[in-house]
Amino acid sequence: MSILSNECPATVRAMTCHAPFAYALALGEKREEYRYRETKYRGWVFFHSGISTASDYAFEYLDMSPEDAKRGYIIGAGYLNYCSPSGNIWAYGFINSVLFENAQKIRGKQPILWQPADDNEVKIFNSSWQILQTMIHTAK
């Protein structure tokens, strides 16, 4: 049985991060993202590269130039496998992360894990899901 279906499940979420951290997650270089709230959600999460340049220093660790980053795009995905306490914050642990060749432009959101808010965003999530599905099935 495949872990992916033909249509993007309504439960799929996205997470907006500063660009270098979104790329590090998608590349599998960073396996945890830290947030101040716990989540019970487990499943696929699209990594959204935020527009802020405040953390651009971190691109150095990825051997990547900030100018090469797509900002305001879904750039990849990972499977949220666990959420565990780490002091007074929560570690969101990801596995099976992938960086998309074709990023999908979409406006980010403030909630830690967010979903599409209108029909256009649903189309972008569906397109991102198809990219993910193709990458997962091609990797086998």
Coil, strand or helix at 131: helix
Q: Is residue 116 part of a domain?
A: yes
Contact between 84 and 74 under an 8 Å Cβ cutoff? The reply is: no
Q: Is residue 32 part of a domain?
A: yes
d(CA 92, CA 84): 7
pLDDT tens digit sequence for 103-131:
999 999 999 999 999 999 999 999 999 99
Q: Is residue 17 part of a domain?
A: yes
pLDDT at 5 exceeding the cut of 60:
no
Number of domains in the chain: 1
pLDDT tens digit sequence for 46-63:
999 999 999 999 999 999
Q: Is residue 2 part of a domain?
A: no
Give strand ranges (E) for 1-140. Answer: 13-17, 32-35, 43-49, 73-86, 89-105
Position 68: which residue type? D
Task: Collect all residues with Cβ–Cβ distance below 8 Å to 13 and sequence separation of at least 6.
Answer: 41, 43, 44, 45, 46, 80, 113, 114, 115
pLDDT category at 138 given cuts 50, 70, 90 is confident
Helix residue spans in the chain (DSSP H): 19-26, 59-62, 119-139
Domain that holds residue 33: 13-139
CATH number at residue 103: 2.30.130.30
Q: Is residue 7 part of a domain?
A: no
